[in-house]
Chain A
């Protein structure tokens, strides 16, 4: 009996959707707009993350060593830095490599190269490039360097300078911008999603309000609550499914355009991102659309059911 009831409810949902004509399509349109907002937010978040990651990538701290710093000490520092949970990557450039890089960078700068040749020894020390996982973690890495007594050679430190202190203001500001952008992004996402949910809920409520009389009649002829609200929830699920398909179709040419024309500006090929994440995006908007529409239908019919 349960299976027969379920079949009848599903069939009634499809029939009601087809017969409600323009009302059904108006509801689908509104759910499509909601899902488009959600998809836009997903894509904007991708842009935001990719931009922030690019900015974060440009930030690092370089530890310059004195000329005669022993390699063994540098390597042990490199190892202890790599052991820090905050550190993502440490790369070592030896004094010789530093000189080679310097020469190639200044190969057209004859006086500098001549001066270098004149000295006849390597005036440059080696250095370590340290990349943290998060921009906010550079300070603790800098503090670690200050407190490491192994870095002292005789009475002087093997570290010539750490450019963290020079970059501190820029890093701090960047850190603030990144966390501010993330917070603002979250807030905007939240507001847009809440607005979309309210609009969708009210549209579906309006569509069901039109059937208010019918719900009363169904109850009077002895239909159970689930038999009355079931078809409306099926209709809600249909709104969600069709709206998902429409949203995915709409965003196809949009991302193609953005991928072709705006990749440099956005720092990310939107089409590639859309295609490679199509399954996840489809699932997110399908579940959002279906659940949102079904819950809206359930709440809207419940109001007229208790008679």
Chain B
């Protein structure tokens, strides 16, 4: 489903040694997988997943989403590609001047869903992440865990083929972390590919699926049923 071919990212070409963020990454992720990418801060995890969204451009190499070369497509095609991917960030990246309902409705409007579909699906997905009571609350009126659940609801509402969760538990306590991981596992069980980046040992060990370990921009380990070993 996703192919990285000899991908490198260098930020400042004048001092190559210090600024290599990704170093010759070759990686394949197949449809339906749950892949955890682990590593210390600065290992290149976020840059890697941002490339799938076309939000970071590689200095060298190619990234494919199925047969689409992400950095060869036009802007409007990239917009369409992003609609096939749901994203969850550590800092939630919710629209702060919109209510929980509107945040999800906006993602549905973006893909051209009708008002009827929005009115029937939004309450349903909010119920799924246990946020029915907060439907008309703004993000700043919600706790961190609630905001992250809202971000997940927004990510899954359009039934994407891939969910990217970039450090989704980074700002959460143990209970909320557990809940988020359970939701992601459930999404994966329903057939959606999930890519999770984290440096939370407990999270990785509880999932028990493929773990890719990164260090200084390189993949140093790729285990099918891995544990956190950094």
**A residues at B contact (CB < 8 Å):** 1, 4-5, 8, 16, 19-20, 213-214, 216-225, 227, 306-307
Q: Is the CB of B115 within 8 A of A4?
A: yes
B75 contacts partner chain A, Cβ-Cβ < 8 Å: yes
Chain A residues within 8 Å of B107, by CB: 221-222
Asked whether B93 is an interface residue with its Cβ less than 8 Å from the other chain, the reply is yes
CB A257 to nearest CB in B, in angstroms, measures 41
Q: Are A223 and B106 in contact (CB under 8 A)?
A: yes
The verdict on B87 contacting chain A, using a C-beta distance below 8 Å, is: yes
Known A-B contacts A1-B112, A227-B110, A306-B75; the reply to A214 vs B80 at CB < 8 A is no
Tell me if B96 counts as interface (CB < 8 A to partner A). yes
**Separation of A295 and B96 alpha carbons in the complex (Å):** 25
Q: Known: A4-B115, A307-B55. Is A224-B110 also a contact (CB below 8 A)?
A: yes
B83 within 8 Å of A (CB atoms): yes
Which B residues are CB-close (under 8 A) to A20?
A: 97
Is B174's CB within 8 Å of the partner chain A? no
> Does B79 count as interface, using CB distance less than 8 angstroms?
yes
Contacts of A4 in B (CB 8 A): 114-115
A-binding residues in B (CB < 8 A): 53, 55, 75-76, 79-80, 82-83, 87, 93-97, 106-107, 109-112, 114-115, 154, 158
Q: Given the complex, which residues of B lie within 8 Å of A306, measured CB to CB?
A: 75
Partner of B79, one of A16, A213, A214, A224: A224
Does B75 lie within 8 Å of A220, measured CB to CB? no
Please judge, given known A-B contacts A20-B97, A214-B96, whether A222 and B55 are in contact too, CB under 8 Å.
no
Contact across chains for B114 and A222 when beta carbons are under 8 A apart: no
Known: A16-B97, A214-B95, A214-B97. A220 touches B82 (CB 8 A): yes
- The residues of A that contact B82 with a CB separation of less than 8 Å are 219-222
CB nearest neighbor in A for B108: A221
Q: Given A20-B97, A213-B93, A307-B55, does the pair A221, B75 have CB atoms closer than 8 Å?
A: no
User: Cα distance A1–B223 when bound, in Å?
Assistant: 47
In the complex formed, the residue of A with least CB distance to B112 is: A1
Closest to B81 in A: A222
Cα A218 to Cα B106 with chains together (Å): 8
| Distance between Cα atoms of A307 and B106 in the complex (Å) | 18
Q: How far is the CA of A221 from the CA of B150 in the complex (A)?
A: 14
Docked-complex contact A220 and B114, CB < 8 angstroms: no
The 10 closest A-B pairs by CB, nearest first: A222-B83, A223-B110, A222-B82, A221-B107, A217-B93, A222-B110, A19-B97, A214-B95, A224-B79, A221-B110
Which of A19, A213, A221, A224 meets B106, CB within 8 Å?
A: A221
